[in-house]
């Protein structure tokens, strides 16, 4: 009975109109844990929270001085103030640019116009539906949104004699904007997921099959006239079928007919190599139909992906397998987030702020005393999240207090060592021999832990042995060392007193190469 009473109490809070979203999120998380007798980890200590929230909202580490000041601050509202300050800082737009570039482009390529578009949009807190519409519309004539066209233009490139992979483009739109992977439905209904039909793929494909890349340099996406339905047949039944453009589970668009020669709002121009603009644009239709408040798949997909980015696992996981047989860990919470996010006009900064303030986000990554292992299904213990290559680089430079010029020399190397292969989502921690060898042997990385004016090792060299461990751990791991760790540092320094700067460098390198440094926990 006591457990039932606790569940009913938190569920009552979850349904109270007066409760803010943060409290309702925590109520639903705690209700599920209580119902299944899953113990919750305690709140993260101040060092763990500060490291996590700074990496998540600024893409880097706090300095040792910032860490010491935060740990010493006795203000009960210091976490709330830190979240607000990070959301308001210019580094927020830089971090979101990195986060969404990795999520949306999946290492397919880079574009300065795309980066500039993302950075400007996040700095202005542009609504997510507006950003998605810009990406899907790909208007090369609008200088304010030109960079957004990179999402489509890069996927319309062809390599050698290979044709443009319109099927992969269709799949990516379904995965990244609707949370549904229809890859296996191009030729037949999905063999495992009953909800996914061949019609879903082909209806979505009908929006994008007539696109072409006019100019990669100008991010110019062209569109041929769509005058008739798309024909297809299952490889199993061989029954001929047709479809007009249609969202999964939605009705088909009516394809208008025009007299010959009057199909274009802007006719093709051979002199400029312009393919023209059709009066009936399936691209424009997709840009209006997909990113809208009434499209439940669109809202559920993005809040699930943002939840994953900050909590380490999606409410629905894998992120692109939303269907009735995979409702996720907390279906009520997913629906709540989708509803509230749409009501807030797709305000990403608001959503991120709400998540960062939850007890679920601020929970420790250490197991509760009564648990032998953590089950990420419940979000009762903070899930360790991999850092992107840019986060790792920025954190490494911040920890070592390196010269800013080092970033230019190391950026390409970090991406080569830590990036996944194209179209391989970076949603799991994936240690590799390539990355280990890079950290172990790369001369530019090793140079960061050599004494130089103003860097970490040089600053540590000026401290007495007893003070080194505290400063080193705060700078690299945003926490103070345990007694055993502090003792080990002193023993290493005493043993290598004749080569103290080199020993300090090896100690700093050991922390930088650790699993603790490589994940956001």
Q: Are strands 385-386 and 220-223 parallel, antiparallel or unpaired?
A: unpaired
Report pTM: 0.94
pLDDT at 2: 44
User: Using one digit for the tens of pLDDT, what is the confidence trace for 309-335?
Assistant: 999 999 999 999 999 999 999 999 999
Query: Cα 140 from chain centroid?
Result: 26
* DSSP sequence for 348-362: HHHHHHHHHTSTTTT
Peptide bond preceding 318 in cis form (omega within 30 of 0): yes
Angle at 277 between CA 279 and CA 204, to 5 degrees: 75
Share of the chain above pLDDT 70, in %: 96
Q: What is the residue extent of each domain of the chain?
A: 1-37, 41-89+347-383, 95-289, 386-520
The residue whose two tokens read 């509803």 is 339
Q: How many CB atoms lie within 10 A of CB 103?
A: 18
Q: Is the pLDDT of residue 7 over 60?
A: no
User: Using one digit for the tens of pLDDT, what is the confidence trace for 431-446?
Assistant: 888 898 999 999 999 9
pLDDT band at 4, cuts 50/70/90? very low
User: Using one digit for the tens of pLDDT, what is the confidence trace for 336-376?
Assistant: 999 999 999 999 999 999 999 999 999 999 998 888 888 89
Q: Is the pLDDT of residue 227 over 90?
A: yes
User: Using one digit for the tens of pLDDT, what is the confidence trace for 78-123?
Assistant: 999 999 999 999 999 999 999 999 999 999 999 999 999 999 999 9
pLDDT band at 426, cuts 50/70/90? confident
Angle at 114 between CA 109 and CA 118, to 5 degrees: 120
pLDDT band at 18, cuts 50/70/90? very low
């Amino acid at each position: 009975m006591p457990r039932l009473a606790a569940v009913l109490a938190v569920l009552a809070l979850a349904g109270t109109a007066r409760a803010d979203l943060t409290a309702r999120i925590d109520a639903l998380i705690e209700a599920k844990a209580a119902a299944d007798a899953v113990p919750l980890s305690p709140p993260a200590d101040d060092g763990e929270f500060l490291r996590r929230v700074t990496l998540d909202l600024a893409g880097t580490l706090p300095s040792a001085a910032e860490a010491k000041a935060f740990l010493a601050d006795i203000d009960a509202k210091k976490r709330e103030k830190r979240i607000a300050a990070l959301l308001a800082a210019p580094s927020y737009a830089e971090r979101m640019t990195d986060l969404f570039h990795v999520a949306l482009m999946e290492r397919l390529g880079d574009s300065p116009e795309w980066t500039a578009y993302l950075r400007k949009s996040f700095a202005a807190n542009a609504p997510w539906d507006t950003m998605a519409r810009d990406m899907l519309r790909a208007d090369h004539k609008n200088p304010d949104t030109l960079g957004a066209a990179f999402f489509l233009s890069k996927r319309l490139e062809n390599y050698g004699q290979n044709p443009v992979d319109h099927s992969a483009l269709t799949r990516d739109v379904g995965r990244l904007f609707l949370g549904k992977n229809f890859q296996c439905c191009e030729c037949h209904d999905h063999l495992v997921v009953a909800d996914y039909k061949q019609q879903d793929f082909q209806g979505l494909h009908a929006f994008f099959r007539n696109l072409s890349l006019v100019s990669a340099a100008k991010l110019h996406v062209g569109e041929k006239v769509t005058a008739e339905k798309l024909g297809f047949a299952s490889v199993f039944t061989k029954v001929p079928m047709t479809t007009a453009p249609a969202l999964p589970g939605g009705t088909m668009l009516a394809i208008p007919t025009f007299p010959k020669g009057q199909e274009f709002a802007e006719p093709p121009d051979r002199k400029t190599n312009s393919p023209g603009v059709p009066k009936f644009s399936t691209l424009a239709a997709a840009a209006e139909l997909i990113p809208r408040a009434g499209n439940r798949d669109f809202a559920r997909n993005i809040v699930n992906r943002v939840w994953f980015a900050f909590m380490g696992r999606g409410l629905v996981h894998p992120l692109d397998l939303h269907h009735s047989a995979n409702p996720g860990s907390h279906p009520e919470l997913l629906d709540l987030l989708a509803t509230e996010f749409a009501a807030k006009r797709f305000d990403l900064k608001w959503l991120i702020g709400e998540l960062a303030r939850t007890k679920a986000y601020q929970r420790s990554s250490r197991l509760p005393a009564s648990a032998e292992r953590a089950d990420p299904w419940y979000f009762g213990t903070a899930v360790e999240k991999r850092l992107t290559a840019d986060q790792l680089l920025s954190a490494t430079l911040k920890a070592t207090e390196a010269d800013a010029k080092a970033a230019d020399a190391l950026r390409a190397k970090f991406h080569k060592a830590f990036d996944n292969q194209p179209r391989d989502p970076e949603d799991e921690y994936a240690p590799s021999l390539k990355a280990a060898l890079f950290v172990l042997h790369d001369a530019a990385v090793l140079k960061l832990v050599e004494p130089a004016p103003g860097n970490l090792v040089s600053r540590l060299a000026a401290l007495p042995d007893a003070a080194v461990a505290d400063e080193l751990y705060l700078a690299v791991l945003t926490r103070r060392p345990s007694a055993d760790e502090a003792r080990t540092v002193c023993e290493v320094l005493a043993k290598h007193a004749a080569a103290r700067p080199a020993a300090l460098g090896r100690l700093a390198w050991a922390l930088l190469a650790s699993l603790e440094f490589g994940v956001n926990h």
